[in-house]
Structure 1
Amino acid sequence: MRASRDSDLSYDVVRSRRTTADIVVERDGRVVVRVPASIPHQRIEDLVKAKRYWIYRTLAEWRDLNATKVLREYRNGEGFLYLGRSYRLILVGDQDEPLLLKSGRFWLRRDLVNRGEVAGAKSAFRDYFIARGLEWIPERVRYYAPKVGVRPRDIDVRELGHRWASCSPKGNLAFHWKCMMAPPTIIDYIVVHELCHFHYLNHAEAFWNEIDKVMPNFRERREWLKKNGAAMDV
C-alpha cells in the first residue's frame, strides 16, 4: 500500500492482480484507490482528479454520519444492539459466562467493568458476537450462494477493522463481528454483496446488477447500512 496526496486530498493506493480500478471511502474515513499492479502512478492521479467531486461529497457524508456515532457506557440500563434490536445491560456478579443474552437483557459480569478498564467488557461483547455470527452467517451464506452461483470455501467471523466483510482469492469469506448488530435483512445484504464479489472484484455497474438479480431492494439495505453503520459499536 502506498499513501499519496493530491493537493488537500490524501488517499491510499492498493495495487493487486485486479483488472480494473476502484475508489472507495472506507468506514474509517480513509480514501482507498485499488488498481491493477501495472498501472502508472500518473494514471492513478488522473483517476483521483476525475473523481474529486464524488470523493469530497462522500467524505462529507461520512463526517455527517459519524458525527452522530453513539458512545456507549458499560452501566446498568445502557442499550446494546443485537440483530437490529437494542437490549438493556445488567451488570451481575454471580455468572460464569462473561456475557449472556437472556430475558430480553444483556447480562455482563460486573468484574469486567469494576477493573476500571473497558477492554474486558468490549472483549466479552466481541467474543459473544463472534460466536453468534459463526452460527448465523454461514447459514445465510449457504442460502444465498446457490442464488449467486458461487461456491465459497471457509467462512469466518472476526475483527476486520474498517471493512464489513472480505473475500480472498481462494474463495474464503470473512465477516466483521459487528455485522451481528445489524438487522437480519442487512446481514443478508452484506452476505450477498460479498458473494457477488466472486464475479466482480470492483464496484462497477455490472457488480451492482449482479446483486440486483438476487436482491432487487438492495439499495434500501445499502442506504440503511450507510446511515446506521457508525452506531454499530460497543
Structure 2
Amino acid sequence: MRVSGVDIVIQKSERKTVSIFIERDGTVSARVPEKLSDDEIRDIIKAKEYQIFKNLAEWTQLNENAVKREYVNGQSFLYLGRNYRLKLVDEKLEGIQFKRNTFLLSKTDKNKAKELFVTFYKDKLNSKIHPIIERYKNQLGVEPNQIKVMELQNRWASCTPNGNVNFHWKCAMAPIDVLHYIIVHELVHLIHNNHTQAFWNEVDKVLPNYQEQVNWLKINGVGMSL
C-alpha cells in the first residue's frame, strides 16, 4: 500500500491495534487487525504520517554510519560487541579462526569469506544462547519448542505461534548484555505474543535496564553486517 509517497507493507493478524515499523533495511511495515478495510488502514496510516517520516529520518541518519566491510588485512569485524581485525594467512585453515583477538582466514578461502564468517557466527551463537535460554526460561516459566540460529532478514529474532524461537546469526556480533535482552524479548513472547504494556512489564521484571540494550541496537544495529 502506498500512502503519502511511502510504500508500506501491510501485515494483517489477530491484533487490536495498528503498529508501524521501520525495518532494518529502511522499508516501512504496518501490522494491523484483520478486520480493517483498506480504506480504514489508509486513514490510520495517514494519521501517523508525522511519526513515519520522523522515524524514516532517524533511520537515514543512523544508516550514515553503515560499515562496508571488505575481506582484506586489517578490516574489522564485530564479535560480541567489539571489533577485531582480520588477518589473511598462507596456511590452510578450517573456516574462520579466532585467535589472540584476531580473525584468521586462509588466503585461498578469500572468495568464500562471507560464507565462512556466517558459519563462524552461527556456531558461536549456538554455543552462547543455550545457557542463557536455560537461565531465563526457568525464571519466566516458559519452554521453547525448537531453538534455531538462522537468516532472519530484518529481524534480530522471532517467536513462532507454535513456540519455536529463532535468532539471527548476526546476534553473535552484539555485546553479551544485548544478547541477553534479545533472548528475554523472545522468551517473553511465549507469554505475550504482542508488544502490549503487559509484554514490556514482563521484560522489565527480568531486565530492568533493557532500554539501554534497545538503544544499543538502535544505534549500532546498522553496523552488525558483513
TM-score (norm 1): 0.91
Report the counterpart of residue 207 of structure 1 in structure 2: 199
Matches within 5 A, 1:78-89: 78-89=75-86
Q: Contact 2:122/2:150 (CA < 8 Å) preserved in 1?
A: yes
CA deviation map 1:105-133 (0-9, x unaligned): 100121122x4xxxx11111000100111
State the AA in 2 paired with 1:79. S
Aligned counterparts of 1:25 and 1:201: Cα–Cα separation in 2: 20
The answer for the alignment partner of 2:12 in structure 1 is 15
3-state secondary structure, aligned to 1:67: helix
Task: Say whether the 8 Å CA contact 1:22–1:203 is kept in structure 2.
Answer: no
What secondary structure sits across from 2:65 in the alignment?
coil
Q: Which residue of 2 aligns with 1:44?
A: 41
Alignment of 1:1-234 (within 5 A): 4-113=1-110, 115=111, 120-234=112-226
Contact persistence 2:93–2:105 (CA under 8 A): no
Amino acid at match of 1:142: E
Q: What do the CA deviations read for 1:124-163 (whole angstroms, capped 9, x no partner)?
A: 1000100111111122112112223321111111111111
Structure 2: 5+ residue stretches without partners: none
Q: How many residues align?
A: 226
Amino acid at match of 1:154: Q
Task: Return 5+ residue gaps in structure 1 as ranges.
Answer: none
Residue aligned with 1:199, SS: coil
* Cα separation, 1, equivalents of 2:51 and 2:83: 34
* CA displacement at 1:231 relative to structure 2: 0.7
> Are residues 47 and 210 of structure 1, via their aligned partners in 2, closer, same or farther at CA, if it must alter by over 3 Å?
farther
Please, what is the CA RMSD of the aligned residues? 1.5
C-alpha displacement at 1:72, in angstroms? Answer: 1.4
Instruction: Give distance in 1, aligned partners of 2:158 and 2:191.
Output: 14
The runs of at least 4 consecutive aligned structure 1 residues that moved more than 6 Å come to none
Q: 1:185 to 1:32 in 2, by over 3 A?
A: same
1:168-225 Cα deviation digits (max 9, x unpaired): 0000011000000010000111111111222333323232222111111011110011
Distance 2:84 2:42 in 1: 47
Worse-matched range after superposition: 133-142 or 163-172: 133-142
Distance 1:201 1:55, change over 3 A: farther
C-alpha offsets along residues 68-104 of structure 1, whole Å, 9 cap, x if unaligned?
A: 1011121111111111121111111312312110122
The 8 Å contact of residues 21 and 202 in structure 1, kept in 2 or not, is answered as no
